[in-house]
Structure formats: C-alpha cells, structure tokens
Amino acid sequence: MQLQFEKVTKSFGDLNVIEAFDNTIADGEIVALVGPSGCGKSTLLHMVAGLQQATGGSVRAAGQPVEKPAPERTLVFQEHALYPWMTLEENVALALEFQDQPAKEARAKARQWLSRVKLGGFEGYYPHQVSGGMRQRCALARAFIARPKVLLLDEPFGALDALTRMTLQSVLKELIEEERPTVVLVTHDVDEALYLADRVLVFSQRPARVLKEFTLGHIPKTHDLTAFADIRCEVLALLGIDTKDDPGTESPIPNKGVTA
Ligand code: ADP
Ligand code: MG
C-alpha cells in the first residue's frame, strides 16, 4: 500500500513538531526514519496509523486520506504491549478476534504464527514467563497475523540487548520478505536502519525536516554492513556523531579525545 505525505505539518499548541514533510513511500517499500530524540518520528507514525491528525497537508494511504486507525495499518511499539493476563497464544489470537474471526480459527492461526516466529511450545506461557526477546517475537506474530498492508514499527527492539536485537531483526526481515507489507520503521539504531531498510530518511531536530535521504535499494543484506560503511558514517555525522574523531573512543595519541 502506497503512502503519500504532502506538505505535512504537525504542531501541538505552540510546539512545531513536523514541518512541510513531503514524501512518497511505494507499495512494499521499507523506509527507516532516524533522527534526534523528540524530533517527531513517533508523531509521524501516529499520523499514518490514524491516531493523530496532521495540522496541515495530507497523509494518504492508497490514495485515501488517513482519518482513523484501521487493521490494515498496524503499529508495533517498543514495549511489546502484550496483555499480561493472557497467554502468548491468546495475545496473538486477539488480533484476529478483534476482526470478528471465530475464536477457534483465530487460535489455530495464532499457533501457526507463534511457530513461524519460533515460539512453538510456548503457546500457553504468560508474557512474564518468557524473555523480552520472546515477548517481542510474540508482538511480531500479533502484528503479522492480521496481514497488515502497512506495518509501522516504533523502535520495536529498543528495549532489547544488542544480540537479541540482531536476532529479532533477522526474524523481522524474513517476515517482511515473505509478507511484503509497506514498512515504516522508526529507530535510533543506524545499523538496524541500514540492515532492514530500502531507504533511510535522516531528520533534523524539531521541527523535523529531512536532512538527507539515502536509497540503499534491494541489496541482499546480512549483518555484515561493511558495504554501507560510507553511508553509515554520513548518517552518524548528520546525527552529530563524528566517526572520524570520536571523543568517546580511545585515541592512540595520549590525552587526545579525553573529555572527562
Ligand atoms: P520522537 O519519536 O522523534 O522521539 P515524538 O514524535 O514522540 O518524538 O515527539 C515529538 C515532540 O512532540 C516531543 O517534544 C513531544 O513531547 C511532543 N508530543 C508528542 N506527542 C504529543 C502530544 N500528544 N501532545 C503534546 N505534545 C506531544
Ligand atoms: Mg518516538
């Protein structure tokens, strides 16, 4: 499903969050949004989800103005947001029950999806009985089971340790390749953006505007991101991280780079 942003502005009272954002995301494209904290990335996702309305301009999905939430546009948060009193299977099935699918079928499909995210055997566990990574696998199963045309991911793995995050990125990549939704991924992890996205938009401080756009294309990718080293440096530089002379890294020259 194509997404179109035309001169989208958003303010909360006097606070201008997004300024004249123009972009078109093609059907099946995977676009990552990176930018400083508080610049308006989540707000942009919320507008696509239909949870927030633009102050000016328009947000369209498949040519239609987005006015309210719809199951075809699914949002996944960092906090897995599973119901603690429901088993993993019940949590995943709920996404279909909300769409009025009979409970028995919903449960059967939930079991299939849990096995697709390698949670077979854990159907009857409650969220607190499994790890953070497993909860987020479950959240992915719950997002994908409804076969959304647009998947909106808001720092989906932000709460996970680095290794678990990389594993989950691979699980997500596989699901996206199989299901082909249009994806908008908000992340503060530049490597995550490079690994998953076809295109990366780097935003400025609030009010957010696009500083630069990087088209990576459908290159088969692994976590070996060496091919993207130059783009990675450029994105980090736009975010204010100097990779050439990073004061946070150890310098071979005595005293150089020591700030504290
Ligand atoms: P990001 O996701 O890039 O970190 P957000 O989109 O969450 O940033 O927020 C951008 C700015 O808008 C922040 O200053 C935040 O406090 C403000 N903001 C977000 N949602 C609301 C709201 N519902 N009401 C008022 N201010 C908000
Ligand atoms: Mg945010």
Q: pLDDT band at 259, cuts 50/70/90?
A: very low
In 104-181, beta strands by DSSP E: 150-154
Which of 8, 9, 10, 12 has most ligand 1 atoms within 8 Å of its beta carbon, as the pocket-test mutant? 12
> Which protein residue's CA is at the shortest distance from atom 23 of ligand 1?
12
139 lies in the same domain as 42: no
| Residue 6 placed within a domain | no
CA 211 to ligand 1 centroid distance, Å: 19
| Residue 11 placed within a domain | no
The residues placing their C-beta within 5 Å of ligand 2, an ion, are 42
157 lies in the same domain as 32: yes
List, for residues 126-149, the tens digit of each pLDDT value: 999 999 999 999 999 999 999 999
Buried residues in 83-98 as b, exposed as e (16+ CB within 10 A): eeeebbbbbbbbbbee
The per-residue pLDDT for 247 is 62
| Residue 59 placed within a domain | no
**Using a 6 Å cutoff on CB, does residue 38 contact ligand 1?**
yes
Considering only CA atoms, which of 19, 89, 10, 101 is closest in space to residue 48? Answer: 10
188 lies in the same domain as 253: yes
Instruction: Give how far the C-alpha of residue 89 lies from the chain's centroid of Cα atoms, to the nearest Å.
Output: 23
Q: Which tokens in the block code for residue 90?
A: 């019940």
157 lies in the same domain as 258: yes
- Pick from 93, 123, 147: which residue ends a domain? 147
223 lies in the same domain as 138: no
Q: Which tokens in the block code for residue 163?
A: 């290794």
| Residue 171 belongs to domain spanning | 28-53+66-72+149-260
List, for residues 48-88, the tens digit of each pLDDT value: 999 999 999 999 999 999 999 998 999 887 766 899 999 99
- Pick from 147, 174, 201: which residue ends a domain? 147
97 lies in the same domain as 190: no
| Residue 1 placed within a domain | no
132 lies in the same domain as 172: no
Q: How far is CA 184 from CA 42, 60, 156, 212, in A?
A: 11, 14, 11, 16
36 lies in the same domain as 115: no
- Pick from 97, 113, 147: which residue ends a domain? 147
Ligand 1 nearest atom to the CA of residue 41, by list position: 3
Which of 19, 42, 43 has most ligand 1 atoms within 8 Å of its beta carbon, as the pocket-test mutant? 43
193 lies in the same domain as 253: yes
**Using a 6 Å cutoff on CB, does residue 33 contact ligand 1?**
no
| Residue 7 placed within a domain | no
Question: Which pTM does this prediction carry?
Answer: 0.91
**Using a 6 Å cutoff on CB, does residue 39 contact ligand 1?**
yes
Ligand at shortest distance from the CA of 43 = 1
> Which protein residue's CA is at the shortest distance from atom 15 of ligand 1?
38
| Residue 250 placed within a domain | yes
143 lies in the same domain as 259: no
| Residue 10 placed within a domain | no
Residue 163's CATH number: 3.40.50.300
Beta bridge partners of 25: 3
Which helix (H) or strand (E) segment is 185 a member of? strand 182-186
Give the count of domains, the chain: 2
List, for residues 195-253, the tens digit of each pLDDT value: 999 999 999 999 999 999 999 976 767 898 888 889 999 999 999 988 777 566 555 55
136 lies in the same domain as 183: no
109 lies in the same domain as 164: no
Q: How far apart are CA 94 and CA 106, in angstroms?
A: 7
